[in-house]
Amino acid sequence: MNVSEQEQDIVIVGGGICGLATALALRRKGIKSMVLERSETLRAAGVGIIMQPNGWRALDRLGVAAKLRQTCTEIPSGVFISVAEGKCRESELPLGKGELRCLKRMELMKALTEELPVESVYLGCRAVSIVLDPLTSNPLLQLHDGTLIKAKIVIGCDGVNSIISKFVGVNSPKLFSRCATRGFTYYEGAHSFGDKFRFYSSNDVTLGQLPVTDKLVYWFLTRVLTSQDLSDAKKDPTYITKASLEAIKGFPEEIVELVKNTEPKALYLTELRYRAPWDLVRAKFRKGTVVVAGDAMHAMCPFIS
């Protein structure tokens, strides 16, 4: 931003899925907002997102569900597969009632962004601090370039490491003892996995596999966290692939090939952080007219969510 000082009604810190969805929800009610995203481009943390019935209801209300349904196949059933000593035992994986699909995160972000005015999303704008004006009690946001934004309301959608949640007083998230690897695997012809959600489990390793389309499969793997997973190695596709293949030794060959054939640019390794449910019960998520939402409010691991 080139302006040293600005006044805004509602400022949303964070231009991820939560921030964009919040901005669009406000727009649908005729309320303007400004979205500040620290990255120079809109980017999605991870590759795929499993959208369950409650998520589709929200997307329907936002007016983007119809176009997103065209990008992914519906998943009607699931299979739980226990792997032991190279042998697999299958049983039904209940998915509950309602619509289940797997979306590309960037498709979701694109759909949300297309419904917002171009001038409402500001890229390359990193909030570094927030205080309350001693005279008005309104929030004052300081950006990395020195810009000061005087807002009436600030909504923190800035993820697990949120500066807004720290200001509000939410406890820092805890590091879980497991990490997650996520990837997309593309197939030139139609893949052979069908339209089922397949969930594999073997000792301390779990792997989920869902079709996005007939040529694209999303997979995620959780395993015990190591010191290397917290180093720069987590950004190295070669390390991620090697560690994933080591974890799934004894899994069916088609799953090994699934991981092997994942494109490096579609491969992500992240540590898992969470806030315990009892922390959320006791926490306050508002300070004056500053509030938090999404991971800034309730970061969760899969075992909680």
% of the chain beyond a pLDDT of 70: 96
% of the chain beyond a pLDDT of 90: 86
Note the CATH architecture for domain 5-63+107-173+275-298.
3-Layer(bba) Sandwich (3.50)
In the chain, where the domains are located: 5-63+107-173+275-298, 76-99+175-273
Look at residue 304 in the predicted model and tell me its pLDDT. Answer: 46
Segment 31-53 mean pLDDT: 90
End-to-end CA distance of the chain: give it in Å, rounded: 37
Contact 221, 124 (CB under 8 A): no
Q: Is the pLDDT of residue 303 over 80?
A: no
Look at residue 282 in the predicted model and tell me its pLDDT. Answer: 81
Look at residue 2 in the predicted model and tell me its pLDDT. Answer: 52
- Reported pTM: 0.92
Beta bridge partner(s), residue 36: 13, 122
Contact 17, 112 (CB under 8 A): yes
Of the options 3.40.50.620, 3.30.9.30, 3.90.1150.10, 2.60.40.2700, the CATH number for the domain spanning 76-99+175-273? 3.30.9.30
119 three-state secondary structure: helix
Q: Round to whole Å and give the CA distance between 159 and 151.
A: 20
Within 8 A by CB and 6+ apart from 174, the residues are 273, 274, 275, 276
Q: Round to whole Å and give the CA distance between 69 and 56.
A: 9
Give buried/exposed letters for 160-171 (b at 16+ CB in 10 A, else e): bebbbbebbebe
Look at residue 44 in the predicted model and tell me its pLDDT. Answer: 67
pLDDT in tens, 267-291: 999 999 998 888 878 888 999 999 9
Q: Round to whole Å and give the CA distance between 76 and 196.
A: 7
Within 8 A by CB and 6+ apart from 7, the residues are 149, 150, 151
Look at residue 207 in the predicted model and tell me its pLDDT. Answer: 97
Q: Round to whole Å and give the CA distance between 78 and 95.
A: 6
